[in-house]
A and B are shown apart, each in its own frame.
Chain A
Amino acid sequence: MYIEAVNLTKKYGNFYALRNLNLRVEGAKCVGYLGPNGAGKTTTLKLFTNLLRPTSGDAIINGYNVKKNVKKALADVGTLIETPNFYPHLTPMEILSMACELRGTSKRDIKDSLKKVRLYEWRNKKVGKFSKGMLQRLALASALVTNPEILILDEPTTGMDPQGMREIRDIIKELKKGGLLIFMSSHLLPEVTYVCDEVAMINRGRLILYDSIENVTSKFSSDIIVVEFLHPVNNIERIESIEGVRAIEVLSSSKMRIAFKGGPETQYSILQSLIKRGYKVVSFQSESLALEEAYLKLIGGDNIE
């Protein structure tokens, strides 16, 4: 299973919403799709889901061109694009039944899907009364109910409260274990770090990075860690003498920023040394997310979502 963009271009007048995108995402994994406002993320997803028609190039899913053979291309794809609306007078049960009937799949998973997104108790209520967060949950249920092998999700946690966001992320993580290919756009970098295996970044309609989160982390790790101790620390010199430590900035009596030289291994050895020297470390973490570092370095001064 794979999705592939081949010289995929979408142009509105003289403006390129997407320019010659070449990207192939294959296998059971979750790929985060990042970029600033107007970078072309949603345009890409809409081209893959037959909502837009490419100006040139091809959006291909499992070997089928979406434009030329939409039925075969989208046969095994569940989608959530923006926050869709549903027919307000129908119930979630009916909406999901419709999705199953359109795809010719069994309706046996409807209740499970609704339970998964915590809408089961609302299954017979009219959708017109639902909040944005509930609509988003229903949209995810409709993407999942037919058990697709590929999921295309556009900012799936939009409009949700923190608990809802966490639940959706956990659902996506679970789905990943089930062998699905998930391609999701997001403007939340921690979300992508938490959920995804790989990340693709675009800016101004062009792909600027596609790599595993692991590689991005090692390439763009921050060289500053923020350490918090259980008790106030008096003898800073003992910490400064640890190998790899470059400088220390005291933030409070029990909290400091440590600049170091090296990668994750140095980070680990600093932590070990601190503990060996009897410091009671409460928290030890990079000042910023590696993905955020990568994002800021690659996209630079552009407007960041």
Chain B
Amino acid sequence: MSEKSSAAQLITIAKYQFLNYIRSKRLFLLLGITGAMSVIFLIVIWQYVNPEHMSSNEFISNWASFSTFLVVLSALFFGGDAISSEYGNKTGYFLFPNPIKRWTILWGKFLASLLASLIVVGLYWGIAFGDTFFVKGTIEIEAYKSFALTLLYLLSLLALTYMFSSFFKSSAVSITITAILYFFVFNVVNSIAMLTGIEPLFSITYAGGVIENVLRNPYPTHMETLQAGGMKMTIFNVQLLTGMEIMLAYFIISTAIATIVITYRELK
């Protein structure tokens, strides 16, 4: 029997994982949520935002602020149970005994998740670009940078989600813990860091701040200290390069850990 290359197997895994997203209606559900949110945004911006005195970048930042939330949703929808389900739902008994290296399964699934997320995030930013062009007549280079940073944020957050997914056996536990982490823990950590004056360089949601910061002119200063009454608070604004480095580090470390875990983890 001829041996199929790992690259070809990776594509096969990605293909069927993507088909699973379509059949399970996850992709359509998130596209629906994205579409609905976009319509609400269009109405709210049209009703309550006066674009006359706004630059193109300021206008599109209304859209960019929501895109980090959408990235988190995409990561949870497509990556939350991608690996844990193989163990918890016993689908691994079908997949793992094939002549395939485990990392191929991980990366094939990751590719499918990335593709599905790109469709969702791409749709959202497409509407954002369309609206901005319609209202302001121009799209500035910073908007494209913000979009590119959103994709980098997506890449790193998806990798982190896959890492958590590779740790757990139950899909529900995997998704719940990852959601709690993204929606609460990181934000709490960021707030504590601001109060203690320590820059939260270890927080991916802090790094995600570059998506909005890059649209601000001038780029916000690194540190701002606020003092009210007896309380002193330091507000950190993540710098472009730092944010990118944090996101890249998350991507590399998370995928490396996930690859090691899936390679050695047993299906008992």
Interface residues of A in 72-98 (CB under 8 A from B): 72-77, 79, 81-90, 94-95, 98
A105 to B2, CA, bound (A): 8
Nearest-neighbor residue (CB-CB) of B268 within chain A:
A52
* A269 neighbours in B (Cβ, 8 Å): none
Kindly report which residue of chain B lies nearest to residue A48, judged by CB atoms: B97
Contact across chains for B100 and A70 when beta carbons are under 8 A apart: yes
Tally of chain A residues near chain B (CB < 8 A): 40
- A52 CB, nearest partner CB in chain B, Å: 5
Q: Which residues on the A side are within 8 Å of B90 (C-beta)? A: 82-85
By a CB distance below 8 angstroms, the chain B residues around A86 are: 91, 94
Tell me which of A52, A73, A101, A146 has the highest count of chain B C-beta atoms within 10 A of its own C-beta.
Answer: A101
Q: How far is the CA of A50 from the CA of B105 in the complex (A)?
A: 14
Q: In the docked arrangement, what's the CA distance between A139 and B93, Å?
A: 9
Q: Is the CB of B266 within 8 A of A52?
A: yes
Contact flags B80-107 to A (C-beta < 8 A → 1, else 0):
0000000001111110111111000000
Contact B91 A71 (CB under 8 A): no
Tell me whether B3 is interfacial, beta carbon within 8 Å. Answer: yes
Q: How close is A12's CB to chain B, nearest CB, in angstroms?
A: 9
Interface residues in B212-239 by Cβ distance below 8 A to A read none
Contact B266 A99 (CB under 8 A): no
B20 CB → nearest A CB, Å: 5
Contact B101 A71 (CB under 8 A): yes
The answer on a CB contact under 8 Å between B9 and A51 is no
Are the CB atoms of A87 and B100 closer together than 8 Å? no
Give the chain A neighbours of B264 by CB distance below 8 A. Answer: 53
Interface hits, B3-23 → A, CB 8 Å: 3-4, 6, 8-9, 12-13, 15-16, 19-20, 23
A102-B23 CB under 8 A given contacts A51-B266, A51-B267, A85-B91 = no
Contacts of B3 in A (CB 8 A): 71-72, 75, 104
Q: Which residue of A lies closest to B264 (CB)?
A: A53
Interface of B is mostly: loop
Nearest-CB residue, chain B, relative to A143: B97
Cβ–Cβ contact B266 & A89, under 8 A: no
A169 within 8 A of B: no
Question: In the complex where A87-B91, A104-B8 touch, is A52 in contact with B100 (Cβ < 8 A)?
Answer: no
Q: How far is the CB of A127 from chain B (nearest CB, A)?
A: 10
Q: Mark B241-263, 1 if CB is under 8 A from A, else 0.
A: 00000000000000000000000
Closest to A42 in B: B268
Q: How far is the CA of A98 from the CA of B13 in the complex (A)?
A: 8
> Given A82-B90, A87-B20 in contact, is the A102-B101 Cβ separation under 8 Å?
no
Instruction: Please name all residues of chain A whose beta carbon is closer than 8 Å to the beta carbon of B96 when the two chains form the complex.
Output: 49-51
| Minimum distance in angstroms from A130 CB to a CB of chain B | 13
A142 at the interface (CB under 8 A from B): yes
B141 within 8 A of A: no
User: When A and B form their complex, which 5 residue pairs have the shortest distance between CB atoms, in order from nearest?
Assistant: A84-B93, A104-B4, A89-B23, A49-B97, A74-B99
The answer to the question of A46 belonging to the interface, with a C-beta cut-off of 8 Å to chain B, is yes
CA distance A88 to B81 in the complex (A): 14
Residues of chain B within 8 A of A146, CB atoms compared = 1
Query: Residue on B with the closest CB to A74?
Result: B99
Determine if B24 is an interface residue (Cβ-Cβ < 8 Å).
yes
Are B1 and A75 neighbours in the complex by a CB distance under 8 Å? yes
* B97 engages A126 (CB within 8 Å): no
